[in-house]
């Protein structure tokens, strides 16, 4: 589902977007009497290393009717020091809020409670937007009045900013009424490309703060249960991978994924068959994560559970077969 990202020869792989002095002066002098159309929701916890690049990528947007709502979620690094110059140059276009460490969902919810724009766009402190990101998102939702949420494609980058791969192919069932496919994990909606209407949050609530992972999918599913989802078939953002990501902790992921499945079981399109498909996919994902850690016995057990839940998924069969061969020593 991905292709290799090819950069122009004169591109820098750091993806740092420089802020010129003239741009900062222009932003400082901008009149903001008109309410912004987009609030950019940025949670930050000990992300001072990457946060300037994220903020600069917002400043570089071709669409300029935005305000950043940045929540410092109890950081112990120099986040305050990093944010200070942006507060000076952006003025009212940057709202900076501090709270005790409460987790990413609580930080996002706090930001949304302090926002008022028609559209809300998600950007984590270590990710980067391409300059067209907001313009494409707002245009999409303006032309799709029945859609409550839009998303696009991403390029994954390493912690150092090196391009890894690009996910830029249409997903089957990736547009329209997609809630059952989100439940079954047959589609993924990358967070740094998500924009939704404020009315969606009024209708379904914010992020579930009881989930330590899968909180994004949970909210996207609740929105998709009431609204159509629109795809923007362009790369809109750079998603930075991290060895500290929740996805690298198989036990933590499994607990939250099972909680998510139980929470939505019985909703329209989320019945017994969908539940089995979803369980098959999460145990396959767990098997692959355990295999990367060298825990082949537990990985094979997880892959066997995936096949038991959904034996018709060729991916489950392939993962189980590959792990069986590795356990038997035929991969050497």
User: What DSSP letter does each residue of 201-231 carry, written as one string?
Assistant: HHHH-S--TT-SSSHHHHHHHHHHTTSEEEE
- Whether 86 has a pLDDT exceeding 80, the answer reads yes
Q: Is 153 left (phi over 0), alpha (psi -120 to 50) or beta?
A: beta
* 3-state secondary structure at position 123: coil
d(C-alpha 143, C-alpha 276), whole Å: 36
Q: Mutual orientation of helices 215-224 and 250-264 as an angle, nearest 10°?
A: 20
Give this prediction's pTM: 0.87
Predicted confidence band of residue 245 (pLDDT cuts 50, 70, 90): low
Identify the pLDDT of residue 13: 42
The residue among 247 and 191 whose pLDDT is bigger is 191
Q: Of the ranges 23-27, 115-119, 294-298, which one carries the lowest mean pLDDT score?
A: 23-27
pLDDT at 63: 97
CB 150 within 8 A of CB 119: no
294 token code pair: 């060298």
Q: Tell me the average pLDDT of the chain.
A: 89
Q: What is the average pLDDT across 213-228? A: 97
Count how many residues are written for the chain. Answer: 332
- CA-closest candidate to residue 188, choices 178, 197, 196: 178
Euclidean distance between CA atoms 247 and 259, whole angstroms: 15
Report the alpha-carbon distance of residue 150 to residue 121 in Å, rounded.
Answer: 10
Mean pLDDT in residue range 142-157 = 97
Which residues have CB under 8 Å from 179's CB, separation 6+? 221, 224, 225, 267, 268, 269, 270
Average pLDDT of the segment spanning 261-265: 97
Instruction: Compute and round to an integer the Cα radius of gyration of the chain.
Output: 21
pLDDT digits (tens, 9 = 90+) for 92-132: 999 999 999 999 999 999 999 999 999 999 999 999 999 99
In the prediction, which pLDDT does 247 show? 56
- pLDDT tens string 32-57: 445 679 999 999 999 999 999 999 99
> Binning pLDDT at 50, 70 and 90, where does residue 217 land?
very high
Whether the per-residue pLDDT at 274 is higher than 60: the answer is yes
Secondary structure class of 234 (helix, strand, coil): strand
Distance between CA atoms of 248 and 262, rounded to whole angstroms?
Answer: 22
pLDDT at 30: 46
Q: What is the pLDDT of residue 327?
A: 82
The region that residue 200 occupies, defined by phi over 0 for left and psi between -120 and 50 for alpha, beta otherwise, is alpha
């Amino acid at each position: 589902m991905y292709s290799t990202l090819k950069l122009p020869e004169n591109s820098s792989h750091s993806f740092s977007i420089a802020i010129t002095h003239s741009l900062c002066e222009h932003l400082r002098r901008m009149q903001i009497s008109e309410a912004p159309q987009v609030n950019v929701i940025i949670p930050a916890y000990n992300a001072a290393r990457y946060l300037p690049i994220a903020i600069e990528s917002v400043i570089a947007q071709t669409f300029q009717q935005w305000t950043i709502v940045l929540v410092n979620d109890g950081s112990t690094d120099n986040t305050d020091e990093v944010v200070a110059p942006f507060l000076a140059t952006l003025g009212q276009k940057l709202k900076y809020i501090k709270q005790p460490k409460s987790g990413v969902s609580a930080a996002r919810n706090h930001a949304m409670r302090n926002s008022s724009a028609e559209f809300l766009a998600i950007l984590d402190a270590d990710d980067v937007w391409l300059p067209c990101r907001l313009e494409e998102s707002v245009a999409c939702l303006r032309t799709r009045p029945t859609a409550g949420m839009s998303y696009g494609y991403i390029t994954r980058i390493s912690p150092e900013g090196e391009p890894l791969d690009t996910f830029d192919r249409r997903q089957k069932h990736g547009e329209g009424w997609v809630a059952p496919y989100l439940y079954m994990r047959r589609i993924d909606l990358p967070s740094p490309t998500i924009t939704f209407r404020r009315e969606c949050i009024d209708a379904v609530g914010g992020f579930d703060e009881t989930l330590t992972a899968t909180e994004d999918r949970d909210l996207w599913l609740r929105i998709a249960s009431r609204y159509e989802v629109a795809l923007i078939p362009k790369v809109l953002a750079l998603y930075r991978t991290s060895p500290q990501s929740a996805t690298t902790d198989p036990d933590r992921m499994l607990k939250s994924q099972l909680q998510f499945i139980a929470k939505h079981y019985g909703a329209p399109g989320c019945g017994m068959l969908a539940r089995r498909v979803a369980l098959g996919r999460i145990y396959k994902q767990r098997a692959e994560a355990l295999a990367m850690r060298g825990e082949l016995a537990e990985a094979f057990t997880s892959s066997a559970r995936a096949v038991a839940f959904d034996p018709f998924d060729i991916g489950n069969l392939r993962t189980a077969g590959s792990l069986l061969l590795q356990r038997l020593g035929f991969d050497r």
